[in-house]
Amino acid sequence: MATTTMHDAHHDAHPTGVMRWLTSTNHKDIGTLYLWFSFLMFLFAGGLAMLIRAELFQPGLQFFQPNLFNQFTTMHGLIMIFGAIMPAFVGFANWQVPLMIGAPDMAFPRLNNWSFWLLPAAAILLLVSFLVPGGAVAGGWTMYPPLFIQGGMAYDMTIFAVHLMGLSSIMGSINIITTILNMRTPGMTMMRMPIFVWTWLITAFLLISAMPVLASAVTMLLTDRHFGTYFFNAAGGGDPVMFQHIFWFFGHPEVYIMILPAFGILSSIIPTFSRKPLFGYDSMVYATAAIAVLSFTVWAHHMFTVGMPTASQLFFMYATMLIAIPTGVKVFNWTATMWRGSISFETPMLFAIAVVCLFTIGGFSGLVLAIVPVDIQLQDTYYVVAHFHYVLFSGAAMSIMAGVYYWLPKWTGHMYDETLGKWHFWLTTIAFNVTFFPMHFLGLAGMPRRIPDYALQFAEFNMLQSISSFVLGASQLLFLYIVIKCIRGGVPAGDRPWEGADSLEWTLSSPPPYHSFETAPAFK
């Protein structure tokens, strides 16, 4: 109590040095931690992708044996999803949600700190697993049994890492959802919240619903591995396909967990640089909610080849196709927002426009994959790899980049280097497309995914993709440089560097004071 009082006494002062980060209860500091952590993981998992592409540069086994290659693909997926994209969005939520709703901090500042610090613990388990006998998990990020039952020590480490990350996500989401529901400034009704806040509210709901299901699934994997249970083994009346059902009941909402906040970022950026209010706010909210609800009814479209009855296949196909409608509404709304605006093309806007285009390509390939007979040809091929990189890299990751450029002036108080930002944008966008677009062709032509070596007819595209992927990887180092440069200095940003921006965070100074909105801001 004594120490508490001491700190409270001068509450704008805060611990400095490493203490500031280890013990923080400040949403901005914790947001920064999340963002840096995710960036680090992004670079690490991106490095794994470079190794994968190096091996796939030519047919034949050049650098890595299949066992190690499978570890790379598995860990690339796990770390990108749980270590890079999800924490990055939570970082945005931490920084932006309190600022956008005029709250003094998150609802549970200490819990917020714990949500973050569980992630390094999970990361330690995952990264160290590369060093244990047998190496890291090599059974795919989807962890399907019985293959997952066969592995060694690293598989247990991954299970516990998933538990920790799940715990982190659940606590983080409870925090975000409570903050949004309970801490809006007077006058900000639900239907007047910025869309970013809405998308995170729904994302948090999805996380709280989905992550415990994943925890259950991996717990059953653990007992099957070590305690002789038969959940996923036919000999005891269990079923490997049951795992897939439970996993994808988590996994499909997870897909939207990784894209809804991206939609929120786009819906913040596009109106700003079109100098026009967002078109169709209400339908945007309803579309987001519709996507969230539908996301719980489509999971088995990941499993069209497991031998489901015809009726199930039809149901899951129809439900999946329906998702195209609310997603389409969003794209139409963004287009209408730009229509007859006064558009300028700063880096965040460039990224946002690219995301809308490229995400739509990913959406269309998703629609193609929803068609059961076509999916049967394309399931587990490079077409799927192309599809989910179009939604996850050019959808989620590039939205994160857009958001970073958009709010970096607010967070640091300096403008980023616009020329370098544009270089980063063009390099990323072009290299991304050259890397991933030909994967559609490879998948159609019959190249399975998750193979370390391939038949000769796939050689040309693979070589092209590898070269381009190295460019894509190197461009992200430029991003790192731009961010660091911006933090260290630059043209002062002023309170509102974007003339079209109008949400509450732009009423604060740049960077905002350590404790902002200590009195509720006016909201008209």
Give the footprint of another protein on residues 225-284 (CB under 8 A).
225-231, 233-242, 245-246, 249, 274-283
Give the footprint of another protein on residues 116-175 (CB under 8 A).
116-118, 120-121, 124-125, 132-135, 138-140, 144, 146-147, 150, 152-153, 156-157, 160-161, 163-164, 167, 170, 173-175
Give the footprint of another protein on residues 380-439 (CB under 8 A).
380-381
Residue 504 DSSP symbol: G
Annotated catalytic residue, options 27, 28, 163, 330: 330
**Does 356 sit near another protein (CB under 8 A)?**
yes
Is residue 196 within 8 Å of 265, Cβ to Cβ?
yes
Amino acid letter for position 491: V
Binding mask 454-493 for another protein (x = CB under 8 A): xxxx-xxx--------------------------------
Helix/strand/coil for 109: helix
Residues forming beta bridges with residue 492, ordered by sequence position? 414
301 catalytic per annotation: yes
Give the footprint of another protein on residues 164-203 (CB under 8 A).
164, 167, 170, 173-175, 177-179, 181-183
Annotated catalytic residue, options 76, 163, 225, 410: 76
Among 85, 88, 211, 493, binds another protein (CB under 8 A): 211
Among 343, 427, 434, 508, binds another protein (CB under 8 A): 343
| Structure-block tokens of residue 156 | 């247990």
E strand or H helix at 509, and its extent? none
256 catalytic per annotation: yes
Annotated catalytic residue, options 95, 198, 256, 498: 256
Q: Which is nearer to another protein, 15 or 489 (CB)?
A: 15
| Structure-block tokens of residue 63 | 């650098």
Q: Which is nearer to another protein, 264 or 486 (CB)?
A: 264
Is residue 493 within 8 Å of 414, Cβ to Cβ?
yes
Q: Return all residues near 365 (Cβ < 8 A) that are at least 6 apart.
A: 383, 386, 387, 390, 440
254 catalytic per annotation: yes
Is residue 462 within 8 Å of 57, Cβ to Cβ?
yes
449 catalytic per annotation: yes
**Does 522 sit near another protein (CB under 8 A)?**
no
Residues 364 and 347: their CA atoms lie apart, in Å, by 26
**CB 379 to another protein: min, Å:** 6
485 catalytic per annotation: no
Give the footprint of another protein on residues 67-86 (CB under 8 A).
67, 70
| C-alpha dist (Å) from residue 206 to 169, 281, 437 | 11, 21, 30
Residue 83 DSSP symbol: I
| C-alpha dist (Å) from residue 190 to 195, 282, 363 | 10, 11, 29
Instruction: Tell me the catalytic residues.
Output: 76, 105, 141, 168-169, 252, 254, 256, 267, 301-302, 327, 330, 449
